[in-house]
Amino acid sequence: MKNNRFTPLFALFFVLALLTSCAKDTQNRNSGDSSVTKDPANGSPQIPVYNYGIMKGILSPMPSYASITVSNDLGYSVQNTPAADGTFFISKLHPAVYNVRIAYSITAIGYNNNNNIHYYDIMGINVTTGTVTDLGTINLPSN
């Protein structure tokens, strides 16, 4: 059997070509993602919504506890909690009219102390395909 001294060089060339190809593919996916657009108002990335709708808003003042429940007349319901700054996003909502219920407490909730929980309802929010429905700043009553 003949010993070929070019075999290790060929293997090295093949591995380098493969690594270079993978690196270019990753770079193209990260830099050329056309599905992410920028918000013209503040330049932040917008979330692609495709066949669903998104509901977003800001709770003010930010309570020590909050839970947001979004439901429609077809029986669909989803629950979410806001971020520390009061912002919330609820995604993958099918087109429909939704009701929003915010359960919140201004003071810390203790064990078996549900009388600190308040409710704030927003009725009849229309969500359409491919849009972000902005509820804006929701001013929660403190009493």
Higher pLDDT, 47 or 4: 4
Tell me if 87 is assigned to some domain: yes
2 within a domain of the structure (yes/no): no
pTM of the model: 0.62
CATH of the domain at 70: 2.60.40.1120
**Torsion 28-29-31-37 (CA) sign:** positive
The pLDDT value recorded for residue 115 is 64
Percent of the chain whose pLDDT exceeds 90: 38
Instruction: Pick the more confident residue, 143 or 70.
Output: 70
What is the DSSP pairing of strand 118-127 with strand 37-38?
A: unpaired
Q: φ and ψ at 88, to 5 degrees?
A: -145, 150
Boundaries of domain holding 108 = 48-139
- For residue range 72-90, what is the model confidence (pLDDT) as tens digits? 988 899 999 999 899 999 9
